[in-house]
Structures are given as structure tokens and as C-alpha cells.
Amino acid sequence: DGGITQSPKYLFRKEGQNVTLSCEQNLNHDAMYWYRQDPGQGLRLIYYSQIVNDFQKGDIAEGYSVSREKKESFPLTVTSAQKNPTAFYLCASSLGTGREELYFGPGTRLTVT
């Protein structure tokens, strides 16, 4: 059963702590993405990766870091430098970064207090 998994679905952290959100796909897709969604808003691109060992900043990369050591994995670290980390985080993948449709995971809701 192919798809994208994100875990956990809900995550709670104290302010000042770094936290890593996982994203795994078994679709054999080259490209992977991280989006952030705030209540009542659209999605904003944090980082994307077109190929293993390569990634680029999106529109709101400050306070976040990523790695792409394996094709199927694209973890996102929310660092203590991110001023408003509480949000819904969505991971997606696609065959490439041209016209291919994006497949999204179920999301992780992060709450930092």
C-alpha cells in the first residue's frame, strides 16, 4: 500500500526545544516538500527537495532545517529559532517538480507551549 506517512499526528513540546517531524514515502518519488498551515490559512512552503542530498528553501524556511539522506525520508526539524512554531505541518511528494501532482501525508499538528 503506497503512500506518505507522517508521525506522530499530534506533538507537544516546550518552548526552546528543537523537535523533528518525520515524513516517509514509499512511492519512489524523487521530490519531497514541507508545508506549514496556520488556522484558516492556505499552505506555505518551508523546504523542498528535488533529489537525494539536495534541498532548497521555500518561502518561510527561517527557523527550520531539513535533511534528505535517503530518497524515502525527508525529516523536518523545528528549531528554537522559529518564533511561532505551533501549526499544522504537511509533507508531500511528487515524481518530479514539473507538472506532477503532489501527494500529501496526513499531517502533524505541533503545539509548542
Partner 1 sequence: DAKTTQPPSMDCAEGRAANLPCNHSTISGNEYVYWYRQIHSQGPQYIIHGLKNNETNEMASLIITEDRKSSTLILPHATLRDTAVYYCIVRGDNAGNMLTFGGGTRLMVKP
> Which residues of the shown chain bind partner 1 in the complex (CB under 8 A)?
4, 33, 35, 41-45, 48, 50, 56, 58, 88, 90, 92, 96-99, 101-107, 109
**Residue 48, Cβ density class (10 Å: 0-12 exposed, 13-18 middle, ≥19 buried):** buried
Which residue's CB is nearer to partner 1, number 34 or number 112?
Answer: 34
Least distance to partner 1, CB of residue 111, Å: 14
Contact partners, residue 98, CB within 8 Å, separation at least 6: none
- The string of DSSP codes covering 40-104 is T--EEEEEEEEETTEEEE-TT-TTEEE--SBTTB--EEE-TT-S---EEEEEEEESSSSSPPPEE
Which residue's CB is nearer to partner 1, number 48 or number 112?
Answer: 48
Least distance to partner 1, CB of residue 73, Å: 17
Least distance to partner 1, CB of residue 98, Å: 5
Which residue's CB is nearer to partner 1, number 16 or number 39?
Answer: 39
Which residue's CB is nearer to partner 1, number 19 or number 46?
Answer: 46
